[in-house]
Structure 1
């Protein structure tokens, strides 16, 4: 029964650490996600307990067309990058990213300690993710991400 309580840290991270293709996957090598929502069979939204090692990135700088995102910092001091602006966050801080606003975002751990946060996002079919500084685009179709170059060639 999936509704039985469990310690979040006991939910194992997936074997495949990222959907990013080479050469982008190496940028999130220090990131570990525990897919809490998937563990409980949630289909309308995802919840991840994410840890960033020192120097790690949460994702490539990106924004979504249809997916709202929310982040709540539990431990550490990540740097939130919003386009070209930066904000240092601390435990208890939170931030939301409205779908379609065009503001690219990512978290970077520039500290010497691990960063741990909760991230919540919906799973809206047809969501397009844009990466302004990378030759990558993503489309969420039938529950999974399809990745391609910006000119449409698949990876």
Structure 2
């Protein structure tokens, strides 16, 4: 059954990180309300002089922003662009889809955030060289990467076959 969302039935909760510059308000995860299998979506409100999530890209999810009201600066690998009401921005998988918003105005910027849900995703943060395994939010330094066969030496010793 169709479900209509609008300002009359959206409730926003503040989300504050330990770093004050990363702060926003988000609606209840609307995709959970409708029990969506393939999309995550919610509405976010980015306050003035605040940043969205750290600069990042997804390995296994595409993302789409629809600016509902206000303005924000968008950072991508191509530089910076000002987004305004009515703009729709698509972020592809991989480093070329890296993005971050900053509200450079004195008014909130509301936007619809839609992401594909393929069960599991890896999110990478180029500024801090981290990876995040989603949906479990397991964050690791990317510098800890090892060779695929590291620690697999002496495989015969692990088989205990007589």
Residues 145 and 3 from structure 1, CA distance in 2 versus in 1: closer, same or farther, beyond 3 angstroms?
farther
What's the TM-score, normalizing by structure 1? 0.79
For residues 77 and 13 of structure 1, the distance between their equivalents in structure 2, rounded to whole angstroms, comes to 18
1:32 corresponds, among 22, 25, 35, to: 25
Q: Separation in 1 of the partners of 2:85 and 2:133? A: 32
Bigger-Rg structure (1/2): 2
Root-mean-square deviation (Å): 2.6
1:85-122, CA deviations, whole angstroms, 9 ceiling, x for partnerless residues? 00001111111011125342111101111100101001
Identify the match of residue 145 of structure 1 among 116, 132, 137: 137
Q: How does 1:1-155 map to 2 (within 5 A)?
A: 5=4, 7=6, 10-13=9-12, 17=15, 22=18, 25-29=19-23, 31-34=24-27, 35-83=29-77, 85-140=79-134, 143-151=135-143
- The count of aligned residue pairs is 144
Q: Which runs of 5+ in 2 are unaligned?
A: 145-162
Runs of 4+ in 1 over 4 A off after TM superposition: 2-6
TM-score, normalised by the number of residues in structure 2: 0.75
